[in-house]
Structure 1
Amino acid sequence: MEFDPTWLLLGLPLAFGLGWLASRLDLRQMREENRRAPKAYFKGLNYLLNEQQDQAIDAFIEAVQNDPDTTELHFALGNLFRRRGEYNRAVRVHEHLLSRGDLSRTDRERAQHALALDFLKAGLLDRAEDALRRLEGTPFEAQARMALLAIYERSRDWAQASDIAQRMQAAQQGDFSTRQAHYLCEQALPLAARGELQAAQALLEQAVATAPQAPRARIEMARLQQRMGRPDAALATLQALADSAPAALALAAPLLVETALASGRAQQAGALLQQHYQDMPSLDLLEAIVSLQTATDGAPGAGREWYVRHLDKEPSLVAATKWLADETLGHEQFHPQIQRALEQAAKPLTRYRCAACGFEARQHFWQCPGCQTWDSYPARRVEEL
């Protein structure tokens, strides 16, 4: 049978017509999908701006279903889940992004960082640590190291914290010498508690060398030297503290009195306390002066005139309460009740207050228990602030 070219002439227009019709259908479908996706996206953005997070999540889920290849929608959805505390859903979104083979390196690093934040917020510190370590060598490296430092501080892994701080300082991300000194002190304290005094002393010496201006290392060193039966060395260390960080001497004032009495150098210590009290009046220095004078004079109430001198400098309910404690007044039968009332009123004024978050405590902390900030407690009581 011979081939008839007539059929070819008839078939070409038909094929062209069918192809054109198919392209129009595909184009119409694509336009419809593209209209749906932006509509859902802008709807979600509008809900987000109006702080309607539930509706925003629903809109973004719809947008992701219409266009599953859009990474920005995934990031927006994951961040919304994290902000709402739905960490499992946030993790699934970011893990889905990381599983995609077509994801660019920039988006992959961004998704890895987002996943690490999910684990951090969820309190899954082991998984957060692993995710953060994968960010070494990426633009998120500095943020990851800071988060790792917070993890190691929270878990009290001071050796790991010290390693990260050294890397950050080497990368010029800031001065971490004072933190390094704190980490060395934290490692020295349990050694001293177990009786490993020489090992503890070596760490404290390293802490003093790392941050000579930081007061904690010298205070801990003086306390250790006093425990080792070396009051003269402890007194010399506290003298160095007074020279390098005079404001912190108030924190070591009771220890200074103890070492002075043990070494028989009460006069030298008294002169040091009075000199610093004149420069920076402090309730702790005041109490140390009175305590030292009472111990050396041997008479009850010796040194009480210092409370009156303090009241001349500034009004102080704490100083007034301490002065009244041993004062003979009229209606002496009511004195115990009045004294208890005054002591109760003065008690909140003797606390320390964190300058970062306002957390108050009866004792001084080097790291705030509330906000975890280092050196945020001034060496002064609430009444003196």
Structure 2
Amino acid sequence: MEFNLSWILLGLPLAFGLGWLASRFDLRQIRFENQRAPKAYFKGLNYLLNEQQDQAIDAFIEAVQSDPDTSELHFALGNLFRRRGEYERAVRVHEHLLSRADLSQTDRHRAQHALALDFLKAGLLDRAEAALNKLEGTAFETEARLALLANYERSRDWVLAAEIAHKLERAQQGSFGQRLAHYLCEQAANDLAHKQPDAARARLQEAIATAPEAARARMALAQLQAGAGELAAAQQTLLDAMTHAPTAIPLMAAPLADIALRLGSVTQALARLQVVYEQSASLDVLEAIVRLSASTPAASMTDRDWYARHLEREPSLVAATRWMAGEKFQDEQFHPQVQRALDHAVKPLLRYRCAACGFEATQHFWQCPGCQTWDSYPARRVEEL
């Protein structure tokens, strides 16, 4: 068959035209998809600003389906799932990101951190610990260590918590001396629960050396000494604690009064508490003074005199209720009912309140049971705040 050059000349323009049409179609399709993805993204952002999380999730899913290679959309979607408490879906999103071979190292670390947060929020502490440990040496190292610290505190693993706290302090990420002292006090409490007083005493001494200004270790040591019959040493430990941690004196007043009464020598403790009270009036210090004064025959002031003096310094429903308990009224037959009502009314005023979250309790906590913050409870009662 004879080769005809004219067919080639006719075919070239046809091929060129078909290629041009195909390119126009592809460009139009790409332009349409690119316009569709930003539209869905901005729609999701608008829903977020209006706090419509369900609609925002739907919009972001649409955007991800249109452009599955966009990692930012995956991060936004995963964070939304976590905020809504849908931790399983958040985990799937972030694990999908980590499985991508084309993910940059920065985004890989970011996805690892997000995955660890998913596990923490879901309460999967073992998996969270493994995920956080993979962030050592990355830009998320500090955040990971802080999360690990909270994780170990939550699981009451004080040894590992102390290890992380030391790492953070060496990295100059803050001072963790007081927190380390709390960890030692927790371990000392465990030692006492297992009948190991010598080990507990050693830990408390270490805690005092770690944070001399912390009140808890000295108070715990005084309690241990008093339990062992070392009353003079316990009293001296509390007096030293009052010097090193003056803001916690209201917490020490009652145990100091107990030890002084057991020791049969109230003069030194009473004198110290009176000096402290003159400097800064406190209900707990006042109650301790009243108890010690009642055991002193030569006391110049009665219980009611002390409460009346406190009322002269500052208004206090608690002090007024205590003063009225010893008063004689014309209608004395109604006094018990009135006194019972007043005692009930002042109970909320005698609570302690967390300065971080507002959680109130009848006892003082070194770590808030509500928000897990350390040293967030002032030593003063609600009425005095």
Q: Secondary structure at the match of 1:297?
A: coil
Aligned residues: percent identity? Answer: 69
**Are 1:180 and 1:207, in contact at CA under 8 Å, matched by a contact in 2?**
yes
Determine whether 1:102 maps to 2:102. Answer: yes
Shift of 1:236: 1.2
Shift of 1:79: 1.5
Shift of 1:240: 0.9
Aligned to 1:377: 377
1:105-147 C-alpha deviation (Å, 9 max, x unpaired)? 0111111111112222222222222211211111111111111
Shift of 1:164: 1.1
Between the aligned partners of 2:44 and 2:323, the Cα distance in structure 1 is 67
Between the aligned partners of 1:303 and 1:51, the Cα distance in structure 2 is 59
Equivalences for 1:279-294 in 2 at 5 Å?
279-294=279-294
Shift of 1:71: 0.9
Q: Secondary structure at the match of 2:295?
A: helix
Determine whether 1:69 maps to 2:66. Answer: no
Residue type of the partner of 1:254?
A
Between the aligned partners of 1:327 and 1:51, the Cα distance in structure 2 is 59
Determine whether 1:257 maps to 2:257. Answer: yes
Aligned to 2:114: 114
Determine whether 1:158 maps to 2:158. Answer: yes
Deviates further, 211-220 or 46-55 = 46-55
Q: Secondary structure at the match of 1:201?
A: helix
TM-score normalised per structure 1:
0.94
**Are 1:135 and 1:141, in contact at CA under 8 Å, matched by a contact in 2?**
yes
Cα pair distance change 1:154/1:298, threshold 3 Å:
farther
Shift of 1:193: 2.8
How many residues of Structure 1 are paired with residues of Structure 2 in the alignment?
384
Aligned to 2:339: 339
Between the aligned partners of 1:363 and 1:4, the Cα distance in structure 2 is 104
Aligned to 1:52: 52
Aligned to 1:24: 24
**Are 1:247 and 1:280, in contact at CA under 8 Å, matched by a contact in 2?**
no
Between the aligned partners of 1:29 and 1:269, the Cα distance in structure 2 is 87
Between the aligned partners of 1:247 and 1:44, the Cα distance in structure 2 is 51
Shift of 1:165: 0.9
Between the aligned partners of 1:55 and 1:350, the Cα distance in structure 2 is 48
Aligned to 2:321: 321
Aligned to 2:241: 241
Residue type of the partner of 1:177?
G
**Are 1:364 and 1:377, in contact at CA under 8 Å, matched by a contact in 2?**
yes
Between the aligned partners of 1:338 and 1:298, the Cα distance in structure 2 is 32
Deviates further, 277-286 or 37-46 = 37-46
Deviates further, 188-197 or 271-280 = 188-197
Residue type of the partner of 2:201?
Q
Deviates further, 11-20 or 31-40 = 11-20
Shift of 1:35: 2.1
Gap runs ≥5 in structure 1: none
Aligned to 1:171: 171
Residue type of the partner of 1:162?
A
Between the aligned partners of 2:358 and 2:298, the Cα distance in structure 1 is 40
Between the aligned partners of 1:42 and 1:173, the Cα distance in structure 2 is 38
1:239-289 C-alpha deviation (Å, 9 max, x unpaired)? 111111122121011211122233333111111111111111111111111
1:286-305 C-alpha deviation (Å, 9 max, x unpaired)? 11111112234399x95442
Gap runs ≥5 in structure 2: none
Shift of 1:13: 3.7
Residue type of the partner of 1:168?
L
Deviates further, 99-108 or 78-87 = 78-87
Aligned to 2:330: 330
Shift of 1:45: 2.1
Between the aligned partners of 1:43 and 1:318, the Cα distance in structure 2 is 58
Shift of 1:370: 1.5
Shift of 1:5: 4.5
Between the aligned partners of 1:326 and 1:25, the Cα distance in structure 2 is 97
Determine whether 1:295 maps to 2:298. Answer: no
RMSD: 2.0
Shift of 1:42: 2.2
Between the aligned partners of 1:147 and 1:50, the Cα distance in structure 2 is 30
Aligned to 1:125: 125
Q: Secondary structure at the match of 1:379?
A: coil
Q: Secondary structure at the match of 1:248?
A: helix
